Amino acid sequence: MSQAARSTPRHAAMSQFAVSNGELLVGGTPLCRLAARLGQTPFYAYDRQLLNRRVGELRAALPASLKLHYAMKANPMPALVCHMAGLVDGIDVASGGELKVALDAGADAREVSFAGPGKQRAELRQAVAAGILINIESFREVTELATISEQMGSTARVAVRVNPDFELKSSGMKMGGGAKQFGVDAEQVPELLAEIGRSGLAFEGFHLFAGSQNLKAEAIVEAQSKSFELACRLAQSAPSPVRFLNLGGGFGIPYFPGEQALDLAPIGANLAAIADQAARELPAAELVVELGRYLVGEAGIYVTRVVDRKLSRGHTFLVTDGGLHHHLSASGNFGQVIRKNYPVAIGNRMASSERETVSVVGPLCTPLDLLADRMELASAEAGDLVVIFQSGAYGFSASPQAFLGHPACLEVLV
Ligand SMILES: *Cc1c(COP(=O)(O)O)cnc(C)c1O
């Protein structure tokens, strides 16, 4: 191998899905069989066994007393939320619509929490009626909730979402520290707590979420330790003991060449130390981490069929029946600064030794509709199935399906 070839970063191995007779299996079903059963491409497929396995790995790595919540905005498919509700200790919702899906899925209202800026009065009413925990993100929400509690004769359960005075380093998406629309700045929290006390709302604790898609364990460890210290400091101004402390998450998964899976061991060790400290300093508090992407991202694939194969001035394009309208993030248009390829394979030619460099594009009339840019894949023809891995989070629900009026995409839990 040449020096250049050796130093080219590669995608992490996508070994979570088994392969049999050269075909990818989802939940034990061969991919072509699954496509036939659904009666159409494109589709997203999520694997129950992989969801179970991921939660099992987390439970093994994290302290037993720690509660694991699923942040369902990562994947709100009702059947999947229902499956997750049976695996985790709680569901975090970000809208009144998600709240309905979580409760329909069988989540225990006592273990559902609601975060997000700009919660509307109707959503706050839904939340109080349901008896879930509301993560307060502004002074307005305190006033609204006091009125709603009085009108409904039911006291709102609240936690304070804190915009910390630090950032999550190396995070794909920063959601705390500096000026942010999320949470209430740490320095304003004592005043907010006093207001909550005066309003008679049921104060339960704090929520800190510093950022998303982080692959550096040491950065997550640092953010969780700082979050805990900050919560201990703010607890001194609280109207009642802290019963709930959500330390956030931000655990990432490898998407792009050169990225590697997150090392859970140091995170688990640090959370165990925090749990010990919490038992002394916040003895009534239940500790929670909330994860979206890490729980579901690797358990899902997007599958689209090759419709056409075109040669343009020496470069081969596989044109598929799906594209950015179903999978915005794989096209590179959902928060990426420099476009990089997701891990991609030809799902019915997993064992093929015949390979070529091609680009995979969708049917939309825009050059942004690019699913793989000059990747080496198994040689493929019209009818073959292109698979995009790491697609279980921020896929279907985070894509502009109506753009260009192509048929809708399906989702299946296998
Ligand atoms: C989006 C979000 C999450 C989930 O983030 P992931 O990166 O998918 O784990 C968790 N908590 C809050 C408050 C969020 O906004």
Give phi and psi for 236, each to the nearest 5: -65, -25
Closest ligand 1 atom number to CA of residue 212: 7
Residue with tokens 């970063």: 9
Over 50: is that where the pLDDT of 1 sits? no
Report CA(142)–ligand 1 centroid distance (Å).
Answer: 23
- Based on the domain organization, do 188 and 215 belong to the same domain? yes
115 lines ligand 1 (CB under 6 A): yes
Tens digit of each residue's pLDDT (9 = 90 or more) over 323-371: 999 999 999 999 888 999 999 999 999 999 999 999 999 999 999 999 9
- Based on the domain organization, do 252 and 390 belong to the same domain? no
Among 260, 291, 322, where does a domain finish? 291
Among 235, 268, 291, where does a domain finish? 291
- Based on the domain organization, do 316 and 395 belong to the same domain? yes
Which of 92, 182, 253 gets mutated to test ligand 1 (max ligand atoms within 8 A of its CB)? 92
Domain annotation covers residue 151: yes
290, β-bridge pairs: 69
Domain annotation covers residue 82: no
213 lines ligand 1 (CB under 6 A): yes
Residue 177 pLDDT: 79
Contact 354, 382 (CB under 8 A): no
Residue 8 pLDDT: 84
Residue 67 DSSP SS3: strand
Closest CA to 350 of 309, 321, 324, 380: 380
Residue 181 DSSP SS3: coil
- Based on the domain organization, do 284 and 307 belong to the same domain? no
Domain annotation covers residue 36: yes
293 lines ligand 1 (CB under 6 A): yes
What CATH number does residue 37 fall under?
Answer: 2.40.37.10
Residue 184 DSSP SS3: strand
Mean pLDDT calculated for residue range 82-96: 98
Number of structural domains the chain divides into: 2
Report CA(213)–ligand 1 centroid distance (Å).
Answer: 9
Mean pLDDT calculated for residue range 188-192: 98
d(CA 33, CA 25): 9
State the alpha helices, DSSP H only, in 282-314: 293-296
- Based on the domain organization, do 249 and 174 belong to the same domain? yes
Tens digit of each residue's pLDDT (9 = 90 or more) over 170-179: 777 777 778 8
Residue 244 DSSP SS3: strand
> What 8-state DSSP symbol labels residue 398?
G
Domain annotation covers residue 29: yes
Whether pTM exceeds 0.75: yes
Closest ligand 1 atom number to CA of residue 207: 13
Residue 337 DSSP SS3: coil
- Based on the domain organization, do 142 and 191 belong to the same domain? yes
- Based on the domain organization, do 384 and 365 belong to the same domain? yes
Report CA(251)–ligand 1 centroid distance (Å).
Answer: 9
Question: Which run of H or E residues covers position 68?
Answer: strand 67-71
d(CA 257, CA 228): 34
**C-alpha separations of 166 from 163, 201, 309, 324 in Å:** 9, 28, 50, 35
Report CA(358)–ligand 1 centroid distance (Å).
Answer: 34
Closest ligand 1 atom number to CA of residue 294: 9
262 lines ligand 1 (CB under 6 A): no
Closest CA to 167 of 223, 231, 128, 111: 223
Provide the strand spans (E) within 140-282: 157-163, 173-174, 184-185, 202-208, 211-212, 244-246
Torsion from C-alpha of 64, 70, 71, 72, nearest 10 degrees: 180
d(CA 29, CA 229): 48
- Based on the domain organization, do 175 and 277 belong to the same domain? yes
209 lines ligand 1 (CB under 6 A): yes
More confident site: 136 or 337: 136
Question: Which run of H or E residues covers position 343?
Answer: none
- Based on the domain organization, do 156 and 227 belong to the same domain? yes
Task: Report residue 42's pLDDT band, with 50, 70 and 90 as the boundaries.
Answer: very high
Mean pLDDT calculated for residue range 36-47: 98
Closest ligand 1 atom number to CA of residue 251: 9
Contact 96, 134 (CB under 8 A): no
Q: For ligand 1, atom 4, which residue shows the shortest CA distance?
A: 292
Contact 12, 260 (CB under 8 A): yes
For all residues of the chain together, what is the average pLDDT? Answer: 96
91, β-bridge pairs: 70, 112
Contact 1, 285 (CB under 8 A): no
> What 8-state DSSP symbol labels residue 214?
B
Among 291, 325, 349, where does a domain finish? 291
48-53, Cβ contacts within 8 angstroms, sequence gap of 24 or more: 48/83, 48/413, 48/414, 50/16, 50/17, 50/298, 50/299, 51/80, 51/83, 51/84, 51/87, 51/295, 51/296, 51/299, 52/87
Report CA(290)–ligand 1 centroid distance (Å).
Answer: 7
- Based on the domain organization, do 308 and 340 belong to the same domain? yes
> Structural domain of residue 23, as residue ranges?
3-46+298-413
Over 90: is that where the pLDDT of 221 sits? yes
Report CA(3)–ligand 1 centroid distance (Å).
Answer: 40
Contact 207, 231 (CB under 8 A): no
- Based on the domain organization, do 145 and 285 belong to the same domain? yes
Domain annotation covers residue 94: no
Closest CA to 45 of 394, 401, 392, 408: 392
Tens digit of each residue's pLDDT (9 = 90 or more) over 279-288: 999 999 999 9
Domain annotation covers residue 88: no
